[in-house]
Structure 1
Amino acid sequence: MTEVGQQLDRAIVFGASGGIGSALVAELVARGVGTVFAAARTRPAALPKGAIWVRFDLDNERTIAAAAQATGSMPLDCAIVASGVLSLEGRAGPERSYKQVESEAMARVLHLNTIGPALIAKHFLPLLPRDRRAVFAALSARVGSISDNRIGGWHSYRASKAALNMLVRNYAIELSRTHKQAVCVALHPGTVDTALSQPFQANLPEGQLTAPAEAARNLLRVLDRLTPEDSGNMFDWAGERVEF
């Protein structure tokens, strides 16, 4: 199938200052996408030439609405949400036991990983074209799969990603009624060498850690192959479906 970058005229990546997000922006630009918006709270330090910074803040819905307006009047062919957190700054990390659950921390993780993408979808799904293929993708995680959960733990993170997966399924169903060619999916990028995964890299098996640029290429290759029949599901970096 033709590369997604050759099919697209306009794309936006949220979380463009993060490891995977910045790599996705760079790869879309390299693929020759006509207009690539890099959405982040502050201007990314390594913004590729040709990419356009758009400010947004998950703590302020008005900035998300303003970002939608800033992209102009033409439809967006692709929107990728690459923002999110695994552990909060200044805290010990994902909970290993229910005894470690704290309401404030859990609420914050759910806000950043679930409510934030939901608000992005609220303002950006209407910008997808109805007359051709369009993609909305959100980075999720295999640990957000309920059926794949064998060891427990990481309660807030798992719950936030499981909820995100449900939203993706909901939005896919709703989109299918008006956007017949739309693809709405969750993506599991694998373990990528970013600040998010850095505290958990020490015991990884050889070869399991992926560079951000490679992860971006993997994810876009997956999106290349997806059709509306795949909408509402989660796929890993190799293109394999992950059961919710």
Structure 2
Amino acid sequence: MSRKNQAAVIVGASGGIGAALETALIEEGAFDVVHGFARSRRGAQHLDLLQEDSIAAAAAHVAQGPPVTMVMVATGLLHLSPRGPEKALRELDRDWMAECYAVNGIGPALVAKHFLPIMPQSQRTVFAALSARVGSISDNSLGGWHAYRASKAALNMLMRNVAIEVRRRNDRAIVVTLHPGTVDTALSKPFQGNVPAGRLLDRERAALQLLDVIDELKVSDSGKLLDYEGKEIQF
């Protein structure tokens, strides 16, 4: 799909999936400009989900160029030494839960707050954030991973709210959360031993699948959680 005189934004472009998405978009050449942002980057490419000022600055920088018709928030927090996903209630920790909510839920919502207003109001636009199947309440049969599950469920609800609001000013806008599958990245590394054979995706393949899903999105998909095959996952 050609998007000449348009720009795309990848938030989390230094991560496994984010970097692959940025590379794929640049190689495709469908957008005139691909903006990659990350906490580890400096200057105009710096964006820290925990610092709203940096999100606002990134949006202001992007607004100076071609109109942004696609924003992808490719971030997530599952473990950070020595913290990891909880297996029982006794492992709950207030600070760890707050950090997971800040990165997995609040951060993407703040990206939407600052980037959606600079996106066109009269053409197809896509705002997508990486979620996870384990953020589905109805699909939860195993329990555990309390902070991660709950923060991704919060992200799904926030993006549903955003989808409803943005539709009022642009009936061609699409807002979704996407489950990329289990991808060979640092986030999944400690848990890959539990992944069935053939189900661990390399990051390049995952990026291309996600971009294919984005290309095929319809307005009726807005507000949904979809997997890497474009299939809806019920909240």
Which TM bucket (shorter chain)? over 0.9
One-letter amino acid of the counterpart of residue 55, structure 1: H
Q: Which moved more, 1:64-73 or 1:165-174?
A: 64-73
**What SS does the corresponding residue of 1:36 show, helix, strand or coil?**
strand
One-letter amino acid of the counterpart of residue 51, structure 2: N
- The runs of 5 or more residues in structure 2 that have no matched partner are none
CA contact (8 A) 2:44 2:61 kept: no
Aligned length: 232
One-letter amino acid of the counterpart of residue 34, structure 1: D
Aligned residue for 1:26? Answer: 23
C-alpha deviation, 1:72, in angstroms: 3.0
Aligned residue for 2:111? Answer: 120
Distance 1:63 1:117, change over 3 A: same
Q: CA–CA distance in 2 between the matches of 1:34 and 1:178?
A: 25
Aligned: 1:42 with 2:40: yes
One-letter amino acid of the counterpart of residue 78, structure 1: M
CA contact (8 A) 1:114 1:164 kept: yes
In the TM superposition, what whole-angstrom CA distance separates every residue of 1:174-224 from its partner, at most 9, and x where no partner exists? 011001101100000000000000000012111010010000000010011
In the TM superposition, what whole-angstrom CA distance separates every residue of 1:115-143 from its partner, at most 9, and x where no partner exists? 11111111001111111100000000000
- The runs of 5 or more residues in structure 1 that have no matched partner are 45-51
Aligned residue for 2:3? Answer: 7
Aligned residue for 1:49? Answer: none
Aligned residue for 1:153? Answer: 144
TM-score of the pair, normalised by structure 2:
0.95
Q: CA–CA distance in 2 between the matches of 1:138 and 1:58?
A: 13
CA contact (8 A) 1:38 1:53 kept: no
Q: Which moved more, 1:122-131 or 1:18-27?
A: 122-131
**What SS does the corresponding residue of 1:27 show, helix, strand or coil?**
helix
Aligned residue for 2:81? Answer: 89
CA contact (8 A) 1:88 1:105 kept: no
TM-score of the pair, normalised by structure 1:
0.92
Alignment of 1:72-221 (within 5 A): 72-73=63-64, 74-91=66-83, 93-221=84-212
Q: Which moved more, 1:135-144 or 1:55-64?
A: 55-64
Aligned residue for 1:47? Answer: none
What is the aligned-residue RMSD (CA, Å)?
1.4
One-letter amino acid of the counterpart of residue 122, structure 1: K
Q: CA–CA distance in 2 between the matches of 1:53 and 1:38?
A: 10
**What SS does the corresponding residue of 2:121 show, helix, strand or coil?**
coil
C-alpha deviation, 1:81, in angstroms: 0.3
Q: CA–CA distance in 1 between the matches of 2:99 and 2:39?
A: 17
Q: CA–CA distance in 2 between the matches of 1:12 and 1:75?
A: 11
**What SS does the corresponding residue of 1:202 show, helix, strand or coil?**
helix
Q: CA–CA distance in 1 between the matches of 2:94 and 2:46?
A: 29
CA contact (8 A) 2:44 2:58 kept: no
Q: CA–CA distance in 2 between the matches of 1:100 and 1:225?
A: 41
**What SS does the corresponding residue of 2:75 show, helix, strand or coil?**
coil
CA contact (8 A) 1:139 1:186 kept: yes
CA contact (8 A) 2:105 2:155 kept: yes
Q: What is the identity percentage for the equivalent residue pairs of Structure 1 and Structure 2?
A: 51
Runs of 4+ in 1 over 3 A off after TM superposition: none
**What SS does the corresponding residue of 2:67 show, helix, strand or coil?**
coil
Q: CA–CA distance in 2 between the matches of 1:94 and 1:126?
A: 35
One-letter amino acid of the counterpart of residue 82, structure 2: G
